[in-house]
């Protein structure tokens, strides 16, 4: 066999003579590689060692295939979110080992933006997981860990809490037998310790004669078309959930300078960085450049601007050392734009709210409002000098002028209600004040519903 120009050639004896003649005339200038040394010797050529081509052996590597596994889980709608609810004992012992399992179950193991190989819904509000276990703490029934699974990247984030998913923890705990319901009891308070923020919330849930969670009811929440049984959620001692301080920067209002590719000149933006239940950065809408406001919050330029504000807020709050580090932690803090509520002249809604908000989650506009966004927003309304407190005061003045009367200011010493307007409707929030004007708890209401229970198949 002769290898000529990379091709294997098997000449007949007659053709060898022809090749011999051709090669004899060209050997001094061109030395074709000959794989068989004996053939070279037969033809009378003395080839240097480097001209002899070694025999190539094909190597087939054994491919280790992933195998199908099953993860017991419950799929629930909780508030305006949807996700998996999993028992802690069904996951690997070490939290560091959860990633591959949860990413595969949700369909983000290959950074698929559609999550086709999992149960995730391809949005940040439908790519969430609650991990629940009996609590060893004397002041809680269960421990709850929130996991945000990224859409379009193979990452999970456990740096913050999700109030909507938390709304499903109480019903899950009751129906899974993690909370004891006494015979004849029609309402149960479930104490939940959130491991992400090291804070406790209490959920008041209606149960039936069999001790199971009641899901049907006439209570409605914006963003969910159907009604359900009301779940009252009380976020206890929400101040400083991640930073240890309600005002991590020490100031109710700060100013940051923001530059983006489309806005290279620095833009001064006022923010209020609040840490209550979850850290949030609130931006006054009047500080958003008009050119971006005309594009709308879903435009990439608007999102880039808000992301830069969020990163600078993270550094200001001590949640990241640099904006580059903050870019790698998408879940916390979150960012939102606040403004005076809409009036009949714009969206057709009457001025029923105290403040309007457009929040963002994982780099996208949120369709409604995170519960752990309503908590810090309501808390900020009670702090003198914050952007929200100023907006609420302006709203009150406008409302009084429209009604030609002066409404009574609510006392900030013990209790206050606040109505928040978001893209899907209104959220009423109760703020309870304790000693030294400390916020003792923030109360709001949700609904939840179990959608399926069984096993999620995943490859690992």
**What is the chain's pLDDT, residue by residue, as a tens digit (460 residues)?**
555 444 455 556 555 555 555 555 544 444 445 455 555 555 555 545 544 455 555 555 667 899 999 999 999 999 999 999 999 999 999 999 999 999 999 999 999 999 999 999 999 999 999 999 999 999 999 999 999 999 999 999 999 899 999 999 999 999 999 999 999 999 999 999 999 999 999 999 999 999 999 999 999 999 999 999 999 999 999 999 999 999 999 999 999 999 998 888 899 999 999 999 999 999 999 999 999 999 999 999 999 999 999 999 999 999 999 999 999 988 899 999 999 998 643 444 456 899 999 999 988 999 889 999 999 999 999 999 999 999 999 998 888 777 666 555 554 457 789 999 999 999 999 999 887 778 999 999 999 999 999 999 999 9
List Cβ neighbours of 227 (8 Å cut-off, separation of 6 or more): 217, 218, 219, 220, 447
Find out whether 188 and 174 touch, Cβ atoms under 8 Å: yes
User: In this structure, how many other beta carbons lie within 10 angstroms of the beta carbon of residue 273?
Assistant: 32
CATH assignment of 68-239+450-459, given 3.10.310.10, 3.40.50.10800, 3.90.1150.10, 3.30.1490.190? Answer: 3.10.310.10
Q: What angle do CA 126, 129, 134 make, to 5 degrees?
A: 150
List Cβ neighbours of 425 (8 Å cut-off, separation of 6 or more): 221, 222, 223, 368
Q: Where in the chain is the domain with CATH 3.10.310.10?
A: 68-239+450-459, 254-437
pTM of the model: 0.78
CATH assignment of 254-437, given 3.40.109.10, 3.40.50.300, 3.30.360.10, 3.10.310.10? Answer: 3.10.310.10
Q: Is 171 left (phi over 0), alpha (psi -120 to 50) or beta?
A: alpha
Find out whether 407 and 400 touch, Cβ atoms under 8 Å: yes
């Amino acid at each position: 066999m002769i290898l000529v120009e990379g091709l294997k050639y098997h000449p007949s004896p007659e053709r060898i003579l022809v090749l011999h003649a051709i090669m004899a005339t060209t050997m001094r200038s061109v030395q074709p590689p000959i794989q068989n040394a004996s053939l070279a010797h037969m033809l009378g050529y003395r080839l240097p060692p480097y001209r002899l081509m070694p025999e190539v052996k094909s190597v087939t590597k054994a491919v280790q295939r992933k195998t199908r596994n099953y993860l017991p889980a419950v799929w629930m709608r909780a508030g305006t979110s949807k996700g998996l609810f999993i028992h802690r004992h069904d996951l690997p012992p070490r939290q560091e080992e959860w990633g591959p399992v949860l990413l595969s179950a949700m369909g983000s193991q290959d950074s698929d933006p559609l999550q086709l190989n999992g149960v995730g819904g391809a949005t940040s509000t439908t790519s969430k997981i609650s991990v629940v276990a009996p609590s060893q703490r004397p002041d809680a029934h269960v421990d709850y860990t929130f996991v945000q699974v990224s859409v379009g990247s193979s990452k999970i984030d456990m740096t913050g809490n999700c109030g909507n998913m938390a709304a499903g923890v109480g019903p899950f705990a009751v129906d899974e037998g993690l909370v004891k319901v006494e015979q004849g009891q029609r309402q149960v308070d479930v104490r939940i310790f959130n491991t992400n923020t090291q804070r406790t919330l209490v959920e008041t849930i209606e149960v039936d004669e069999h001790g199971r969670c009641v899901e049907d009811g006439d209570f409605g929440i914006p963003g969910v078309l159907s009604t359900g049984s009301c779940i009252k959620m009380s976020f206890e001692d929400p101040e400083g959930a991640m930073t240890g301080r309600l005002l991590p920067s020490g100031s109710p209002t700060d100013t940051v300078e923001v530059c983006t590719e489309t806005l290279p000149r620095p833009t001064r933006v006022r923010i209020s960085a609040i840490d209550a239940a979850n850290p949030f950065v609130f931006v006054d809408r009047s500080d958003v450049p008009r050119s971006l406001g005309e594009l709308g919050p879903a435009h990439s330029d608007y999102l880039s601007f808000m992301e830069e504000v969020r990163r600078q807020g993270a550094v200001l709050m001590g949640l990241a050392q640099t904006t580059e580090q903050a870019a790698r932690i998408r879940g916390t803090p979150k960012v939102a734009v606040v403004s005076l509520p809409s009036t009949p002249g714009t969206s057709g809604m009457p001025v029923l709210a105290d403040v309007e908000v457009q929040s963002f989650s994982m780099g996208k506009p949120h369709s409604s409002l995170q519960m752990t966004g309503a908590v810090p927003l309501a808390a900020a309304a009670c702090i003198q000098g914050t952007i929200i407190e100023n907006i609420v005061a302006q709203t009150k003045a406008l409302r009084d002028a429209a009604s030609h009367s002066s409404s009574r200011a609510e006392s900030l010493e013990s209790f206050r209600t606040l109505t928040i307007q978001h893209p899907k409707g209104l959220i009423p929030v109760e703020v309870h004040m304790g000693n030294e004007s400390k916020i003792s708890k923030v109360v709001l209401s949700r609904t939840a519903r179990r959608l399926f229970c069984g096993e999620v198949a995943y490859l690992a």
